[in-house]
Structure 1
Amino acid sequence: MCKLRLTVLCYLFVHGIQAIGQSTDIATYQKTDYGVKISFIGLATSVDQDIYLDAVRDDIVRVTALPPDAALPAKESLVIVDSLRRSVNALSIDVLQDTLYLRTEKLVLATSLRTGRILFKDKNEKIILGERKRVDGSFRPNAYNGDSFYALNQGFDVDQNEGLYGLGQHQNAVMNYNGGKQVTLLQYNTEIGIPFLLSTNNYGLLWHNYSITTAGDVRPMLPLNAFKLTSKEGLTGWLTATYSHRDHPDSVWLTRPESIIDYSYLTDQHKLPKDIALANAKVRYEGQVTSPYDGLHRLHFKYAGYMKVWIDGELLEDRWRESWNAGTFEIAKEMEASKPYDIRIEWLPDGGESYFTLNWQSPLPTELKSTFSFASEAGDAIDYYFIYGQDMDDVIAGYRHLSGRAPIMPLWSFGYWQSRERYKTQEEIEEVAREFRERRIPIDNMVQDWSYWAEHDWGSHDFDKSRFPDPDGMIKRLHDMHMRVMISVWPKINEESSVYPMFNKKGWLYARNIYDGRKDWIGKGYTSTFYDPFQQGARQGFWDLMNDKLYKKGIDAWWMDASEPDIHSNINLDERKAVFQPAIGSSVRYYNTFPLMNAKGIYEGQRQTDPNNRVFILTRSYFAGQQRYSAAAWSGDIASRWHDMKDQIAAGVNFSMSGTPYWTMDAGGFLVEKRFHKPTQADLEEWREMNTRWYQYGAFLPMFRAHGQFPFREPFNIAGEGHPAYASMLYYIHLRYKLLMYNYSLAAKTFFDNYTMIRGLAMDFPQDQQTYAVNDQYLWGPSLLINPVTEKGATKRTVYLPQGAAWYDLYAGKRYEGGHVIQADAPYERIPVFVRSGSILPVGKELQYTDEKPQDELTLFVYDGADGVFELYEDEGDNYNYEKGKCSIIRILYNNQDGKLTIGERKGSFDGMLQKRTFQVVFVSSQTPIGIDSEHIKKKTVSYQGKSTSITIR
């Protein structure tokens, strides 16, 4: 029970009596089990609303606000798993003047009894965050498919100097979401919406809502014609759009005025000019734009094909996307009111479908410059969790307290993975596997992409016998080569599939797509739909099918593609909602949660079937809480372009800072320009360089996986032996295995301590505000600063070394002081990687696969300049015995003052554990600049048998 202060006010509170006289302009309130309900009815200073404050822990409080006649949200949540297990040490509630204070040991919530506005304060009464007052537009009644709900809007007053992160994965190269940016949280190929916001002020907001949500600056986007437009010819009201043959631009087919550019979906194709072969066209938009506002404007582009944008003669973007998979980007531009700006856009549509939309955000008005908001399409209430912590890791730990821990992925998953779109026969995949082993290129996982089934039989999970005559033997032969097998499984079932009648009869399918007759793009085209994972029976039935057709054959891991669900590429949201109708309720209310429930069924199904084998799920879409189902995300069908590679950095870091730790991408990018299919020598060398840079980046992620459309993505198909691309790709694959113990220990720390492996610089250097917006660097664990090279031909790259540490070049050991920007060497074969002072970096021997041989000898690189600690973790690698305590940790400490390294007593044990090992210790300092590539490294040898031992290394 909570401990209430023995005051008259609290006495009245306990007895459920209004605690401030009989005034009619003050809210009433009453005690609940772990907080308070405050009711505002008929007040001139507030909308009618009930507010529930509910303490989950001393540092976590749930806030729920809703109209008085509305029902509280159901207690059962798809996201929250721990909200009923309370750990509140002390709770008190009192009132001073017109403010109600709810206090825990770590938080104070001050709620105005006149307006309902809540201020979140620390225990010393310092304001952490404040709500904006709820107004009439905060709750707007709406309905869909017989489901009544509210469209919801809640703003928060934030510090303009804080960094705001998370919100999932977005392809906008934005790191810090503070300052008027807008992001839409919805599931879409390459976009992942997770409603969790993380602040450098050490708080988080879990916006507890399942519907499509806009975050940040939630004002509606403006169409192009909100600008004053002037045509190329000087006429007012439009831009001049010129359609010509791309190879003969002087041969003009059509010129027309365009004042709105909105070709977002298939249903918009009729707006484009008829009788013009857009696949052969170049479209130029020319003229001027004039804004009525001063300030920072954000232009949002959705596009497919080639796109170049100039403003006042400056080329600001040069991009490409495959025609069927439109991408997005934004341009931030300072503009003066009433000043015309020349604009030129060149668009080369790339294929039969043509997508291009241009909208913009006007500058933030002064009253919104310190506001961050959430606006959701559907919900019963404004409902969110406020989480406070000592640092951002502590906040993420609170998020996982609510939504679930991330299990340790299997040891093999930290090796190298090879994939392509696609291995068409079992001979292909086995031949590639053999070549890896013959070339002695380390690898742990071969990946079988889609269409291994017969053309009509999508959803059956049966192998096509004409191309895969012996799948059981294929999987066994791959296992005999010490390789795991991951396979693509779609939540999609064709009407002509052998399993369709059974799923349809049981009511486990979304029927609308079948009745619409919408066909997919395979072969002649087949009508298809998706199963409904919101039904427990359907989840079990889908797993039973996977188990019978795939898992029993020995498949090791699941690639859950199209898990948005991607009903059909490029249909609009209204059509998607009409098709996706889960049994649990309307698609509008539950739009973002399909991937969560899909992963739940696979995870629970495999753990029930085979409790001793770790689940691994790779999924294209993701929602809050999905980390508890052993799910990793990859960034979808990105393009093989330099700009897409750079965009992945901020996308992956913000995804990880959403509390969801396992993320990767297609190293090399997925979608490929035609110029790389039959390349010139120059294009071939660019292809090799780009893939090399992508491999270098991919080696420092939770999963290292090469994948993509043709050309093939195996290192030996990208470049031959003797080429620097081949040498560099192999170097980073080998380095990946040398760092296995470091990486696996990070995974254990992620489970036991709720750690985050991919780290925005602000997580470790929150006092250094220069780190807040850095969108092309990140920390891999506590030690390594990763700086991918994302520019063609670059041999240097700008690197910011955060203040508060010294930094050592990984390869050669040269020391640099923090707080500086440097031009780091970035030769073709290497990306700049720096090691933080105080780091203890374990480096193992070369391996061909993760469990090839015991790690009985490790080299510990110890970096001078700060105290250091590293916990070396081991377990059995492939089962869940670690949940029962079967694991070991060796705590290694470096004392910078006396130069002593202590390898602590081993804690814990497990079957097959090494009883003794040798540590080779290498000390790195400004006087002894040693890197992992240095020759003749001076080492000190420590024989270790589980007992604590110390040596002086300086």
Structure 2
Amino acid sequence: MNLEILDNGFMLSIEGRALLTHRPENPCLFVGKGQERMDMYRGNFDIDDYVVERSPLTHAEISGDEIAFSNAPGQAVRLVLTIKGSHVEFAAKDASINRVWLRLVAEEPEHVWGGGEQMSYFDMRGRRFPLWTSEPGVGRDKSTEITWKADVTGKSGGDYYNTNYPQPTYLTSRRIAVHVETTAYSVFDFRNADFHEVEIWAVPERVELFAAPTFVDLVGQLSIRFGRQPMLPDWVYGGAIIGLKDGENSFTRLEAFRAAGVKVSGLWCEDWVGLRHTSFGARLFWDWQANEQRYPDLHNKIKELRFEGIRFLGYVNPYLCVDGPLFPIAEAAGYFATDEQGKTALVDFGEFDCGVVDFTNPAAADWFAEEVIGKNMLDYGLSGWMADFGEYLPIDVKLANGIDAKLMHNPWPTLWAEVNAKAVESRGLTGDTLFFMRAGFTGVQAHCPLLWGGDQSVDFSRHDGLVTVMSGALSSGLLGNAYHHSDIGGYTSLFGNVRTAELIMRWSEMAAFTPVMRSHEGNRPKDNLQIDQDPQVLAHFAKMTQIYVHLAPYLKSLSQQAAETGLPVQRPLFLHYEADVATYTIQDAYLYGSDLLVAPVWKAGETTRGLYLPKGGRWVHVWSGEEFDGGETISVSAPLGQPAVFYRQATDFTSLFEGLRQL
């Protein structure tokens, strides 16, 4: 970085690109105090701030690599920035400061991406994004009836910025990236034409700055900073992971899938722990050990499946129900987060209470990794699981490390991922066991081998349907998360909103061109169409799994590339076509590696797909063989079973891609 002293100010740049500029009339820093209000209701948050002070730090004095800021000449220094390599460290000299606003240089035109996993808007320019891990909400669109109903009945409607996985990191079309090292609630505000403003509800440790000649290099730098996943397990390439929660009948249904020609790599049964029945319906029993009343002789059945090349997967989260046998063990050892009185803090999950395992207590984290995941899951035979609920840390509990739960809430998913990864590593199964998470924060990349897109609605809606999964994959992929997938058919069915056969088939088409195919029966299985209940849907799904398996050699090469370079499997078009600015805002199509372009149908009733092909060569339509020049917006036929997919004419995988026409 370069610090240049200007008349009555300064400019900080990296590789010739301005990042911070400061003059008294246009300061880059504001500090002050705020009194926040945070209300949590089952993973959803209502957050507001009463700003007591917001003062511009107009005066800056530079001494070597230090910049001391005050409100005016002659007044006390309130904040000091220290430049260390490509980092800018923050130190408050005024202990009353609990709010910082930093303004970074913006240019026109400039596009901005990142922010963790953003489901509604891939290009973040022009909008404000609070960064706080939470339930993303139902519908996520305040103008819709379903979001209104969710807000009224359960405070769970959500908005465009709500996400399970926020991260205070962004990239811009100037080929720079900014990461704010903080765990506090923060906000990215990209609405101003002249600057990007970062709001932090604490004094951050530092701001890290990155620059590169290309987007590929920039993504590689970020993947080194945040961590890289191992390659996908070899068993995954065998087909789809079939999600069923039907007790021992799940095995019978699995055989029907296979008889229909479905390629299967795994059977995923959330209900392997058994069920409890509430007024809300059947819920999982949160005690994380096999329930052999619901799944008789499960241990041996897992062995039999594995002999046939099919792995068994389950479910776990970081809570323990009070009426299960693990709860008294954890409570006696002091492994739970506590309340104000020092007693075990209990969280109501709807007619049953749970304790929060305190992962800031090393003994509790080790116990959960070894006794719960290690012995009850890995030693029992599970090859993977959904590691759920990382975003649910209550903000009023007391933790062993003494840090305010409001500051531990955001990094909690990373601690949860670390516990899971430690258990896997203890058995020497890293790279073979596959757990997947929806929650994340800075550093989750180093521990979680696979993201899943969370709980989309079972529909084609703009802010909570199929199309949002693509935006989530692209935004998180730029930050070092190489692998992303989703619940085929969506998950959330409320207020009469149920799956259609068309939705399942279109979702399956997209999933065939993602790192992992996995189905889910949804939150209300009996109310919704399932893949094995409709012969047409089942046959279509079988074909999509055959496509997925056919592409396994290509996917393996992308997995190897991810491990070596940090490049995600699903990539925004601009990653390889950065000279083509028309690609910078596309979020409903993606590159699958560098050689395939995938544009799923994401609107109901459509059988054609319009899309833009990037400049820089010719593209071949997979199903017809028709060739197109890049740099054009085209429309192609996309009937069920033939999503809009193209390959680069110059690819080394031509014969493999041409083979898709024969399936």
TM-score, normalized by the shorter chain, greater than 0.5? yes
Q: Which residue of structure 2 lines up, in the alignment, with residue 159 of structure 1?
A: 107
The answer to whether residue 245 in structure 2 is matched with residue 423 in structure 1 is: yes
How far 1:590 moved relative to its partner? 2.1
CA distance in 1 between partners of 2:526 and 2:196 (Å): 44
Q: Which residue of structure 1 lines up, in the alignment, with residue 255 of structure 2?
A: 434
CA distance in 2 between partners of 1:608 and 1:712 (Å): 41
Q: Tell me: CA distance 1:776–1:454, structure 2 relative to 1, closer, same or farther (3 Å).
A: closer
How far 1:582 moved relative to its partner? 5.7
CA distance in 2 between partners of 1:509 and 1:381 (Å): 28
| Greater RCO, CA 8 A, separation 6+ | 2
Question: For residues 180-202 of structure 1, what are the alpha-carbon distances to aligned partners after superposition, in whole Å with 9 as ceiling and x for unaligned?
Answer: 20112121234120222112221
Question: For residues 88-122 of structure 1, what are the alpha-carbon distances to aligned partners after superposition, in whole Å with 9 as ceiling and x for unaligned?
Answer: xxxxxxxxxxxxxxxxxxxxxxxxxxxxxxxxxxx
How far 1:612 moved relative to its partner? 6.8
The alignment partner of 1:779 has SS state of strand
The answer to whether residue 199 in structure 2 is matched with residue 202 in structure 1 is: no
Residue type at the aligned position of 1:828 = L
1:688 to 496, 501, 506: 501
Residue type at the aligned position of 1:482 = G
How far 1:26 moved relative to its partner? 7.2
User: Are 2:418 and 2:448, in contact at CA under 8 Å, matched by a contact in 1?
Assistant: no
1:402 to 219, 222, 225: 225
How far 1:580 moved relative to its partner? 6.8
The answer to whether residue 201 in structure 2 is matched with residue 377 in structure 1 is: yes
CA distance in 1 between partners of 2:272 and 2:552 (Å): 33
CA distance in 2 between partners of 1:934 and 1:552 (Å): 42
Residue type at the aligned position of 1:434 = E
Residue type at the aligned position of 1:697 = M
How far 1:540 moved relative to its partner? 0.8
Within 5 A, what are the aligned runs for 1:259-298?
Answer: none
How far 1:712 moved relative to its partner? 8.9
Residue type at the aligned position of 1:62 = H
Q: Which residue of structure 1 lines up, in the alignment, with residue 575 of structure 2?
A: 763
CA distance in 1 between partners of 2:360 and 2:60 (Å): 43
CA distance in 1 between partners of 2:220 and 2:452 (Å): 23
- Judging by fraction of residues, say which structure has more helix: 2
How far 1:740 moved relative to its partner? 0.3
Residue type at the aligned position of 2:606 = A
CA distance in 1 between partners of 2:442 and 2:110 (Å): 23
Q: Tell me: CA distance 1:802–1:713, structure 2 relative to 1, closer, same or farther (3 Å).
A: farther
The alignment partner of 1:835 has SS state of strand
The answer to whether residue 427 in structure 2 is matched with residue 609 in structure 1 is: yes
CA distance in 2 between partners of 1:518 and 1:590 (Å): 17
Question: For residues 146-177 of structure 1, what are the alpha-carbon distances to aligned partners after superposition, in whole Å with 9 as ceiling and x for unaligned?
Answer: xxxx22221212122122111122332x1211
Q: Tell me: CA distance 1:811–1:45, structure 2 relative to 1, closer, same or farther (3 Å).
A: farther
How far 1:860 moved relative to its partner? 5.0
Residue type at the aligned position of 2:320 = I
User: Are 1:166 and 1:197, in contact at CA under 8 Å, matched by a contact in 2?
Assistant: yes
CA distance in 1 between partners of 2:224 and 2:473 (Å): 22
Q: Which residue of structure 2 lines up, in the alignment, with residue 506 of structure 1?
A: 333
Of residues 511-520 and 465-474 in structure 1, the stretch that sits farther from structure 2 once superposed is: 511-520
Q: Which residue of structure 2 lines up, in the alignment, with residue 37 of structure 1?
A: 66
CA distance in 1 between partners of 2:581 and 2:338 (Å): 52
The alignment partner of 1:401 has SS state of helix
Within 5 A, what are the aligned runs for 1:774-785?
Answer: 774-785=586-597
Residue type at the aligned position of 1:549 = N
Larger radius of gyration: 1
Q: Tell me: CA distance 1:454–1:674, structure 2 relative to 1, closer, same or farther (3 Å).
A: closer
How far 1:517 moved relative to its partner? 6.0
Question: For residues 612-659 of structure 1, what are the alpha-carbon distances to aligned partners after superposition, in whole Å with 9 as ceiling and x for unaligned?
Answer: 763422012011221211431212121111111122221221121222
How far 1:557 moved relative to its partner? 1.1
Give unpaired runs (5+ residues) of structure 1: 3-24, 31-35, 56-60, 71-139, 142-149, 218-363, 568-575, 678-685, 843-858, 862-929, 936-954
The alignment partner of 2:454 has SS state of coil
Q: Tell me: CA distance 1:562–1:26, structure 2 relative to 1, closer, same or farther (3 Å).
A: closer
How far 1:455 moved relative to its partner? 3.7
The answer to whether residue 91 in structure 2 is matched with residue 63 in structure 1 is: no
Q: Tell me: CA distance 1:829–1:711, structure 2 relative to 1, closer, same or farther (3 Å).
A: farther
How far 1:382 moved relative to its partner? 5.7
User: Are 1:200 and 1:762, in contact at CA under 8 Å, matched by a contact in 2?
Assistant: no
The answer to whether residue 122 in structure 2 is matched with residue 175 in structure 1 is: yes
User: Are 1:557 and 1:617, in contact at CA under 8 Å, matched by a contact in 2?
Assistant: yes
CA distance in 2 between partners of 1:469 and 1:932 (Å): 41
CA distance in 2 between partners of 1:727 and 1:175 (Å): 33
User: Are 2:171 and 2:177, in contact at CA under 8 Å, matched by a contact in 1?
Assistant: yes
CA distance in 1 between partners of 2:263 and 2:494 (Å): 29
CA distance in 1 between partners of 2:310 and 2:347 (Å): 39
User: Are 2:101 and 2:197, in contact at CA under 8 Å, matched by a contact in 1?
Assistant: yes
CA distance in 2 between partners of 1:796 and 1:42 (Å): 60
User: Are 2:60 and 2:68, in contact at CA under 8 Å, matched by a contact in 1?
Assistant: no
CA distance in 2 between partners of 1:401 and 1:701 (Å): 23
Q: Tell me: CA distance 1:486–1:451, structure 2 relative to 1, closer, same or farther (3 Å).
A: closer
CA distance in 1 between partners of 2:400 and 2:552 (Å): 42
Within 5 A, what are the aligned runs for 1:283-682?
Answer: 368-378=192-202, 380-381=203-204, 383-420=206-243, 422-425=244-247, 427-450=248-271, 452-453=273-274, 455=276, 458-512=285-339, 518-521=347-350, 525-544=351-370, 545-565=372-392, 576-579=394-397, 581=399, 583=401, 585-610=403-428, 614-643=432-461, 644-672=465-493
Q: Which residue of structure 2 lines up, in the alignment, with residue 53 of structure 1?
A: 83
User: Are 1:377 and 1:589, in contact at CA under 8 Å, matched by a contact in 2?
Assistant: no
How far 1:815 moved relative to its partner? 0.7
CA distance in 2 between partners of 1:931 and 1:816 (Å): 19
Question: For residues 881-911 of structure 1, what are the alpha-carbon distances to aligned partners after superposition, in whole Å with 9 as ceiling and x for unaligned?
Answer: xxxxxxxxxxxxxxxxxxxxxxxxxxxxxxx
How far 1:714 moved relative to its partner? 9.3
Query: How much is the aligned-residue C-alpha RMSD, in angstroms?
Result: 2.8
Instruction: Give aligned pairs, total.
Output: 564
Q: Tell me: CA distance 1:382–1:153, structure 2 relative to 1, closer, same or farther (3 Å).
A: farther
The alignment partner of 2:264 has SS state of coil
How far 1:211 moved relative to its partner? 1.9
Question: For residues 702-724 of structure 1, what are the alpha-carbon distances to aligned partners after superposition, in whole Å with 9 as ceiling and x for unaligned?
Answer: 2111113225999752421xx3x
Residue type at the aligned position of 2:480 = G
TM-score of the superposed pair, with normalisation by structure 2: 0.79
Q: Tell me: CA distance 1:553–1:187, structure 2 relative to 1, closer, same or farther (3 Å).
A: same
User: Are 2:232 and 2:432, in contact at CA under 8 Å, matched by a contact in 1?
Assistant: yes
How far 1:693 moved relative to its partner? 0.5
Question: For residues 300-349 of structure 1, what are the alpha-carbon distances to aligned partners after superposition, in whole Å with 9 as ceiling and x for unaligned?
Answer: xxxxxxxxxxxxxxxxxxxxxxxxxxxxxxxxxxxxxxxxxxxxxxxxxx
Q: Tell me: CA distance 1:584–1:518, structure 2 relative to 1, closer, same or farther (3 Å).
A: closer
CA distance in 1 between partners of 2:527 and 2:445 (Å): 31
Residue type at the aligned position of 1:500 = F
User: Are 1:409 and 1:630, in contact at CA under 8 Å, matched by a contact in 2?
Assistant: no
The answer to whether residue 26 in structure 2 is matched with residue 213 in structure 1 is: no
CA distance in 2 between partners of 1:412 and 1:713 (Å): 29
How far 1:825 moved relative to its partner? 1.1
CA distance in 2 between partners of 1:641 and 1:738 (Å): 28
Residue type at the aligned position of 1:156 = L
Q: Which residue of structure 1 lines up, in the alignment, with residue 51 of structure 2?
A: none
How far 1:45 moved relative to its partner? 9.7
CA distance in 2 between partners of 1:586 and 1:42 (Å): 29
Q: Which residue of structure 2 lines up, in the alignment, with residue 184 of structure 1?
A: 130
Residue type at the aligned position of 1:696 = E
Give unpaired runs (5+ residues) of structure 2: 2-58, 137-162, 278-283
CA distance in 1 between partners of 2:167 and 2:204 (Å): 18
User: Are 1:417 and 1:447, in contact at CA under 8 Å, matched by a contact in 2?
Assistant: no
Task: Calculate percent identity across the aligned residue pairs.
Answer: 19
User: Are 1:451 and 1:458, in contact at CA under 8 Å, matched by a contact in 2?
Assistant: no
User: Are 2:345 and 2:355, in contact at CA under 8 Å, matched by a contact in 1?
Assistant: no
